[in-house]
Structure 1
Amino acid sequence: MSLEPDLLADRRRLRRRLTLWRALAIFALFGAIALVAGMRGERVLPGGDHVLRLPINGFIAEDRRVIEALDRAATNASVRAVIVAIDSPGGTIAGGEALHGALSRVAARKPVVALMGATAASAGYMAALPAARIYARDSSLTGSIGVLLQSFDVSELMARLGVSAQVIASGPLKDQPSLFRPLSAEGRAALDRVIQDLHAQFVGMVVAGRRMDADRARALADGRVFTGRQALDVGLIDAIGGEREARAWLAAEREVPESLPVRDMQTRSTTERLISQATEGVMKSLLSEWLGVDAPRALWQPSR
């Protein structure tokens, strides 16, 4: 009789092990299917005339695959137009510049239209500038034309804890800004010159993209955000609307039929996109904003 409880316990342990291995096998199977589907979707180029949609979401950083895909689209006769769908608070200056350059090369060959979602600010607005026409929702947040450089000074906290940092630098500006000592007047002046030069580059893109007077562009480039309606009033966008209005404009002004299918540009596999969505916000936003010395960014960041 004593063997029966032991047999039941063994069976339960065996069943739990089988359940675990079955779950792992199912997970591995779905992972393999997603990986193969993603690889196929990345390698097979859609045929037939179509409108290409480029989604720009979240933090903008330089992505070689996106730039290369846009350069291929610029010379692909099947791509009749490109719709840039933006929902981003911005990103790095270099990332915005690279995207702006690639979209400018596309715009030199075929129509490009930008659509603003909830947010298209800073580098997100920079990405819209090569478009022949920019649409936004009434409530879209855009603008924020400016450059941001942030650092922290924890020297007082370290002194209270009895911790000191030993820094050996080749010059007085090499470690500016630094977490370990206050920003010097000389360092602040040098960094300010960098920020002003980057800001001037951004303003130049606005002047060229919006065909706007330089003084007018500088007056709007004080870092403030605009709603879609406000942006329309000051000339930062062309119209209120979404993809339906963009397709109608392309048909009327660029002879791109509304009947053509719209296909999203995919540069990453399904697995990569799933992993990216899970980690992008933490790695690129939280860590970059709160830890260490950050690079200059064109990022809308409301004051805390």
Structure 2
Amino acid sequence: MSLDADQIVERRRLRRKVTFWRTLGVLAAVGALAVAVSTFAGNTLSPSTPHVARVVIGGVIRNDRERVKMLDEIADSRAAAVILSIDSPGGTVTGAEQLYDALQRLAKKKPVVAVVEGLAASGGYIAAIGADHIVARRNALVGSVGVIFQFPNVYELLKSVGIAVEDIKSSPLKAAPNGYTPTSPEARAAIDALVVDTYAWFKALVGDRRKLTDAQLATVADGRVFTGHQGLGLQLVDELGDETTARAWLAREKGVSEDLKVRTWRTGQRSSEFGWLSGAVGGIAGALGFPQLAAILSQATGAALERAQLDGLLALWHPQINR
């Protein structure tokens, strides 16, 4: 049986469409592969080859043994210098202290320059002062020298619905404050003592590293953030600019050739042990055909988990807290 003219035309039209989408798919796959290869090739520079190491300090800072190990490895590598690319609101005090100590060990072996890409606040600023030189973009934010201990108290809410949480403990200040009972003056005083002690450590660190007088330190240590431009006048940063500015400083002051390639060092550890949950939430939404919702849910879940894992005293800047 022969096909009439309309059927032949329709079949040819369908064949052209299939060919078009197949070609487009192949081109997309090739393009993705090219990007992946390019990205991989950009970081295949061997640690044993002379280079400038780039370390990205981003997001919330907490204790991270893998990062400390990586910084120690950089110290023993052929890196001629280290650039810290910082964009962080801070994090736990102990996490910032751990990172600062590791950076100081590194700075004894390699020149280290910090570049504030967007934000170096609280614990993020502690990381920055671990470097020999601080470069910040003109409108980046720096500072937020201070410490916060924050906890929710739902006592009045529970009381309104007739719920009381009782506990039996060895002493009045055990597990205080707990958020289920009114915070006693004694508990508040105990927590205040922790905050004051850690704040004194933070201030002393800034004053020593930035060579500030008592009057200058008092100006910058009230918890505020400053723009890079303001921070330059307050001695919180040394220079305005970007990574190119940092490379120029390394060449000028440390004799590090600007021709050396940059190698970005990574720990290979992806966020927290709860990263699978963020991916699962996004994956479910994606499988249902809502890619934009998947991206939003993954980001929101990751941020919520990140906050949930912060425990103890925080050196963390958040505009909703500081309003």
Which residue of structure 2 aligns with residue 58 of structure 1? Answer: 59
Which residue of structure 1 aligns with residue 266 of structure 2? Answer: 266
Please, which runs of 5 or more residues in structure 1 have no aligned partner? Answer: 1-33
Shift of 1:216: 2.5
| 1:6-21 equivalences in 2 (<5 Å) | none
Question: In the aligned structure 1, how far is the partner of 2:93 from the partner of 2:46?
Answer: 31
Question: In the aligned structure 2, how far is the partner of 1:97 from the partner of 1:265?
Answer: 21
Conserved? CA contact 2:216–2:234, under 8 Å: no
Out of 109-118 and 264-273, give the one that drifted further.
Answer: 264-273
**Secondary structure of residue in 1 paired with 2:61:** coil
- TM-score, normalised relative to structure 2: 0.75
Shift of 1:45: 5.0
Which residue of structure 2 aligns with residue 7 of structure 1? Answer: none
Kindly provide the amino acid, as one letter, of the partner of residue 96 in structure 2. Answer: G
Deviation by residue 1:42-93 (Cα, 9 ceiling, x = unmatched): 9x953310111110111111110100111121222x0111100000111000
| 1:168-207 equivalences in 2 (<5 Å) | 168-207=168-207
Which residue of structure 2 aligns with residue 92 of structure 1? Answer: 92
Kindly provide the amino acid, as one letter, of the partner of residue 53 in structure 2. Answer: L
Question: In the aligned structure 2, how far is the partner of 1:75 from the partner of 1:46?
Answer: 9
Which residue of structure 2 aligns with residue 49 of structure 1? Answer: 50
Kindly provide the amino acid, as one letter, of the partner of residue 252 in structure 1. Answer: R
Across the aligned residues of Structure 1 and Structure 2, the Cα RMSD in angstroms comes to 2.7
Question: In the aligned structure 2, how far is the partner of 1:189 from the partner of 1:146?
Answer: 18
Question: In the aligned structure 2, how far is the partner of 1:134 from the partner of 1:264?
Answer: 19
Kindly provide the amino acid, as one letter, of the partner of residue 57 in structure 1. Answer: G
4+ residue segments displaced more than 6 Å: 270-274
Question: In the aligned structure 2, how far is the partner of 1:270 from the partner of 1:232?
Answer: 34
| 1:248-287 equivalences in 2 (<5 Å) | 248-268=248-268, 278=298, 280-285=302-307, 287=308
Deviation by residue 1:149-177 (Cα, 9 ceiling, x = unmatched): 11111111111111110112221111221
Question: In the aligned structure 1, how far is the partner of 2:81 from the partner of 2:163?
Answer: 59
Change (3 A) 1:45 1:270: farther
**Secondary structure of residue in 2 paired with 1:55:** strand
Which residue of structure 2 aligns with residue 246 of structure 1? Answer: 246
Change (3 A) 1:169 1:295: same
**Secondary structure of residue in 2 paired with 1:84:** strand
Question: In the aligned structure 1, how far is the partner of 2:147 from the partner of 2:192?
Answer: 10
Please, which runs of 5 or more residues in structure 2 have no aligned partner? Answer: 1-35, 280-297
Question: In the aligned structure 1, how far is the partner of 2:128 from the partner of 2:271?
Answer: 28
Question: In the aligned structure 2, how far is the partner of 1:210 from the partner of 1:112?
Answer: 15
Question: In the aligned structure 1, how far is the partner of 2:155 from the partner of 2:46?
Answer: 55
Which residue of structure 2 aligns with residue 301 of structure 1? Answer: 318
Which residue of structure 2 aligns with residue 149 of structure 1? Answer: 149
Deviation by residue 1:226-266 (Cα, 9 ceiling, x = unmatched): 01101011000001000001001101110100010111111
Identity %: 42
Kindly provide the amino acid, as one letter, of the partner of residue 183 in structure 1. Answer: T
- TM-score, normalised relative to structure 1: 0.79
Question: In the aligned structure 1, how far is the partner of 2:157 from the partner of 2:72?
Answer: 50
Kindly provide the amino acid, as one letter, of the partner of residue 304 in structure 2. Answer: V
| 1:218-257 equivalences in 2 (<5 Å) | 218-257=218-257
Question: In the aligned structure 2, how far is the partner of 1:215 from the partner of 1:177?
Answer: 35
Kindly provide the amino acid, as one letter, of the partner of residue 208 in structure 2. Answer: A
Question: In the aligned structure 2, how far is the partner of 1:169 from the partner of 1:272?
Answer: 33
Aligned residues between the structures: 261
